[in-house]
Structure 1
Amino acid sequence: MRQSMIDRRSFLLCSGAAFALGACGNGVGGRGSATIDARVDETRNYLFSRYPGTRDLASKAYGVLYMPLVTEAGFGIGGAFGRGALRINDVTVDYYSAAKASIGLQIGAQQYAHALFFMTQDALSDFRRSPGWAAGADLKYATPEQGASIGKETTEIDPVIALVFGQAGLIAGATLSGTKYTRIIP
């Protein structure tokens, strides 16, 4: 029993530290909606210019959540944090944070951007109604290499398509599994 209490405390302490580290450089601390919107504009423009098929994908989507900068750090136990905006018809309707905790063989830090394309009205509605939406089984991952042609693929059967791009850092890979999205007021 004592061992499990120490393990839980260690996990919570390290998760909190990783979360705080992940929050560094993500606009936490009152920079507001103008900063988030500017970063989202840059991210969207980069995404469309670098992966042209995503422009078509965005035009078919009922909404797109852009997360311009997610910072992830870990040493056995890790965390990630970022802020972004949900856009419908390319107009910001809500702001969201993304938080993730992980445990396993990991060391290092990285930053990346990602976008979630909501391909059905139901998927978008579920996301917006939820007090905290977690990336789950209804999410299809696309790779940056698919970004050039993803708009040509059939997307009607995938309610949410996630594209992770712009990775920089020392942790191999970037994944959204276990990421929780929460509406915020910047």
Structure 2
Amino acid sequence: MDLQDGFSRRGLLMGMGALALSACNNGVGSNGAAQIDARVEATQNFLFSRYPGTQDLASRANGVLYMPLMTEAGFGIGGAFGRGALRIRGVTVDYYSAAKGTIGFQIGAQQYAHALFFMTPEALEQFRRGPGWAAGAEVRYATPEQGASIGKETTELDPVIALIFGQQGLIAGATLGGVKYTRIIP
């Protein structure tokens, strides 16, 4: 074993350890549905009070997936994980986990929340029907700065609108690219 092999293995173990530790506070091993529901309710209230246009957007959406806490960490190899709930007309209908893996230049950890607004019945049906759904080209990303007016200027022509907010941590930026959503039973 040369020095480079030892450094790579150590980096991999440190990165995976950081990911495991950071996931300890985001619903993994939680009290199930009650804890997810409480976090989703708090996230929805925060979103509507901080970004008023999102309340109008949610009222026009066919469904909204709230992911209250995504934890992302990486050291060369990284990943993210979180749990949330899909609400239709304000009522929770399903629970979902979100996960992604990454390889490349990265170091650090962060947490953030996001919401997916399904603006067409077809987008919502496609999300709910499959065994796993990945955010792709059909998703329009909105910035938190647009949150005050997003409901007024967005039309139903966008099948899915994503809003990432509440970022905290040491990794610059957050993206939903490569995130896979899977229905769970908490």
TM-score (norm 2): 0.90
Q: Deviations for 1:71-102, whole angstroms, at most 9, x for unmatched residues?
A: 00011111000000000000000000000111
Q: What CA distance in whole angstroms lies between the structure 1 residues aligned with 2:134 and 2:15?
A: 17
Q: What CA distance in whole angstroms lies between the structure 1 residues aligned with 2:14 and 2:101?
A: 10
Q: What CA distance in whole angstroms lies between the structure 1 residues aligned with 2:17 and 2:137?
A: 28
Which residue pairs with 1:41 in the alignment?
41
Q: Deviations for 1:44-81, whole angstroms, at most 9, x for unmatched residues?
A: 00000000000000000000000000000011111000
Which residue pairs with 1:76 in the alignment?
76
Amino acid corresponding to residue 147 of structure 1 in structure 2: G
RMSD between aligned alpha carbons?
2.0
**How far has the Cα of 1:153 moved from its partner?**
1.3
Amino acid corresponding to residue 34 of structure 1 in structure 2: A
Kindly indicate whether the alpha-carbon contact (under 8 Å) linking 2:15 and 2:76 is maintained by their aligned counterparts in 1.
Answer: no
1:123 corresponds to 2:120: no
Amino acid corresponding to residue 47 of structure 2 in structure 1: L
Gap regions ≥5 residues in structure 1: 1-8
- Number of residue pairs aligned between Structure 1 and Structure 2: 178
Q: What CA distance in whole angstroms lies between the structure 2 residues aligned with 1:161 and 1:146?
A: 12
Kindly indicate whether the alpha-carbon contact (under 8 Å) linking 1:79 and 1:101 is maintained by their aligned counterparts in 2.
Answer: yes
Q: What CA distance in whole angstroms lies between the structure 1 residues aligned with 2:137 and 2:21?
A: 28
Q: Deviations for 1:109-168, whole angstroms, at most 9, x for unmatched residues?
A: 000000000000000000000101001010010000000110011322210000000000
Which residue pairs with 1:134 in the alignment?
134
TM-score (norm 1): 0.90
Gap regions ≥5 residues in structure 2: 1-8
Report 1:37-186 matches (<5 A).
37-186=37-186
**How far has the Cα of 1:103 moved from its partner?**
1.5
> Is the partner of 1:85 in helix, strand or coil?
strand
Query: Kindly, what percent of the aligned residue pairs are identical?
Result: 79
